[in-house]
């Protein structure tokens, strides 16, 4: 995680550019497949409406309906992509916080409690993680106290 102040971290748009970029790319691919599907259905409907019509007339009729659909969908596409990034930010941000906290625990460091936004789907997992981290800290503290009392007994007995 970056060294930015907490209030600025929430403003990060690209937490994991590789993952979020892949999600954006998938959204664009889905959008393109949707447009191709619409074009195919329009072409089929136009061809079946007049079986004797030349291909150029069918193509012209399809383009008359498809061009406005493409224009409107191009206007909506940035909103779709922005929403994809924002929603993925919530997901990737929580996963990133879990990853860094787990790394600290694995390295033997203490970690501050994970805090996720209220209503976030990660809330129960964060609560469980915080309980585990607290338990590990308590066990380490108890182990250190036991070790230090044993060391003191050895000093007294010498």
Q: What percent of the chain has pLDDT over 90?
A: 29
Q: Residue 62: is its pLDDT beyond 60?
A: yes
pLDDT band, residue 2 (cuts 50/70/90): very low
Q: What would the DSSP string read from start to end of the chain?
A: --SS-HHHHTT-S-SSHHHHHHHHHHHHHHHHHHHHHHHHHHHHHHHHH-TTS-HHHHHHHHHHHHHHHHHHHHHHHHHHHHHHHHHHHHHHHHHHHHHHHHHHHHTT---PPP---TT-TTHHHHHHHHHHHHHHHHHHHHHHHHHHHHHHHHHHH-
Residue 152, pLDDT score = 61
What pLDDT shows up at residue 120?
A: 72
Q: Is the pLDDT of residue 9 over 80?
A: no
Instruction: For the full predicted model, state whether its pTM sits above 0.95.
Output: no
**pLDDT (tens digit per residue) in 101-127:** 999 988 888 888 888 777 677 888 888
Residue 29 tokens, joined: 């691919």
- pLDDT > 50? residue 141: yes
What is the overall mean pLDDT for the chain?
83
pLDDT for res 150: 66
| pLDDT of amino acid 14 | 82
Q: How far apart are CA 131 and CA 105, in angstroms?
A: 13
């Amino acid at each position: 995680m970056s060294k930015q102040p907490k209030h600025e971290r929430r403003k990060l748009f690209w937490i994991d550019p590789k993952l979020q970029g892949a999600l954006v790319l998938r959204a664009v691919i889905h959008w393109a497949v949707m447009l191709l599907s619409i074009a195919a259905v329009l072409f089929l409907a136009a061809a079946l409406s007049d079986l004797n019509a030349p291909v150029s007339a069918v193509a012209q009729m399809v383009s008359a309906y498809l061009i406005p659909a493409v224009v409107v969908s191009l206007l909506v596409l940035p909103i779709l992509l922005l929403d994809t990034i924002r929603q993925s930010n919530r997901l990737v941000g929580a996963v990133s916080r879990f990853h860094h906290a787990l790394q600290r625990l694995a390295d033997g460091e203490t970690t501050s409690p994970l805090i996720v936004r209220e209503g976030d789907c990660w809330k129960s997992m964060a609560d469980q993680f915080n309980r585990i981290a607290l338990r590990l800290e308590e066990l380490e503290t108890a182990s250190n106290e036991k070790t230090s009392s044993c060391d003191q007994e050895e000093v007294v007995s010498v």
